[in-house]
Structures are given as structure tokens and as C-alpha cells.
Amino acid sequence: MTKPFRSGCPINLTLERLGDRWSLIIIRDIMFGNRRHYRDLLDNSEEGIASNILADRLKKLVEAGLLSTAPDPTHKQKTIYSLTEPSIQLVPLLAQMGAWGRRFTPATPDLSIRAQLLEEGGPEMWEAFMAELQSLHLGGEPPQRSVTKELTEAYLAAIA
């Protein structure tokens, strides 16, 4: 039986669906880092997520329809995690959270560069990024513009 929501407020419902900070961090790592396997998410976590928390949050994100799973054709015991359309539509929210974090927290320059580019690129860049994520995670023709490549190149330049 599904537990009732605390209220019908859209902000409350969004927070109840996304859960806690780890859920957004996992979506961020899949979205921006293209980390698609459990081990990759665990080993490359900037924040050091515990294995039991990662397993629990992945399960909850799949149950909530924010991630989907498929067997990895290259390894029978691995699962590939993919973003679903609802999680891809979080790009503008994550871009705004990154912009807010750059202004009001002690964010580091190297980890802020992608947020800066998304803020400066605005809705046009967000739409291009969502189209690229849709292609990568949901199938279809890849778009001509690769926002992932732009963000990765900027990050690599920032850490160089």
C-alpha cells in the first residue's frame, strides 16, 4: 500500500519523490558523470556515499520511476542504470541549484565550472543537454551538439 503524502503541495510532493540529498546526488552523477553502474557510482562518489545507502537509494529511485534498469550485455552480473524522462526533466532544477550554490556556498571553482556553464547557457543549453540525455538514456538519434562534451572539457580544463 502506498503511503499517503503529507500534502498536495507540488514542492512537498517533489521533495517526497526525490527523498533526500543522496537521491539528487545519484541523479547528478548519472546525469553529469555518465556513471551507469553501481560500482562506478560507489567508487567515484565525491561525497563518499556508503554502499548500503547507494543500494537503497537506487532501489527507491527505480521504484519512483526516476531511474530504469537493464542488464549489462557485457557482464551478466551488472546492471545499467538509466535516467527516465522525469529525471531528465530535472536538468533546469539542477542547473538552478548549481547557480544558487555558486553564489551562496563555498563551492570550489573546479566543481563549479559545469554549474557556471549551465547558468550562462540558460534554457537553450538545458534543452540541448536534455535532448542529449534523452538520446543516451532513452534511445534515438544523438543531437549534433554535445553539452556533455562541453561540460567535460570545461571541467578538465579547470582541474588542469
User: How far apart are alpha carbons 18 and 20 in whole angstroms?
Assistant: 6
Q: Looking only at Cα atoms, what is the longest distance across the chain?
A: 51
Residue 70, SS3?
A: strand
Give me the half-sphere count of Cα atoms (radius 13 Å) on the Cβ side of residue 38. Answer: 18
Predicted confidence (pLDDT) per residue in 2-14, tens digit: 567 778 898 888 8
**Which residue shows C-alpha cell 547507494?**
54
Predicted confidence (pLDDT) per residue in 48-98, tens digit: 999 999 999 999 999 999 999 999 999 888 999 999 999 999 999 999 999
- Residue 2 has a pLDDT of 56
Q: Is 141 left (phi over 0), alpha (psi -120 to 50) or beta?
A: beta
**Of 33, 29, 24, the residue nearest 156 (C-alpha):** 33
- Residue 112 has a pLDDT of 95
pLDDT reading at 1 higher than 80: no
